[in-house]
Structure 1
């Protein structure tokens, strides 16, 4: 059964609840898929803004960094693909609490 939603996710919590992951694409051509729930936890622990429009400002391309190129802001989109970059796993109880709080 396909999951179709009426509205676009506003932030990483919505993206995680809707089973989306974040595809970050650098202008250099490097792409990475990040688990939205783990990314939400990463941002939450640092006190960063978890809204979708604020996410690209905190991401950086590791390929550009390794090559010594200037930092360029990636573009992001929501996809239903497996994560290619592993972040520390989020506490699912905390995530469910956050989703429940929004209902």
Structure 2
């Protein structure tokens, strides 16, 4: 049974700690689910902002890019579904250290 949390996730670390994944939907209709911990590691290594509200401007739709359409920012939401897109796997020890640092 999934836990219900009192507060909402503020960033990708919170989303990963609460076992959420990121659903990104492009206005063209294409949608992908990304593992939040792997996405956190991807953003951290590049020095990008990991807050939930800042994530969409770093994501792009591969379907639109392949069709050479203008880039449109996706909308995101947190879901408890399996990831459909794989990113390089994050070091879970590093993620757990980050979670411990926040307590």
TM-score, normalised relative to structure 1? 0.99
| Structure 1: unaligned runs, 5 residues or longer | none
TM-score, normalised relative to structure 2? 0.99
Q: Residues 7-86 of structure 1: matches in 2 within 5 Å?
A: 7-86=7-86
Aligned length: 103
Deviations 1:9-50 (A, max 9, x none): 000000000000000000000000000000000000000000
| Structure 2: unaligned runs, 5 residues or longer | none
The alpha-carbon deviation at position 2 of structure 1 amounts to 2.6
Please state whether the residue corresponding to 1:94 is helix, strand or coil: helix
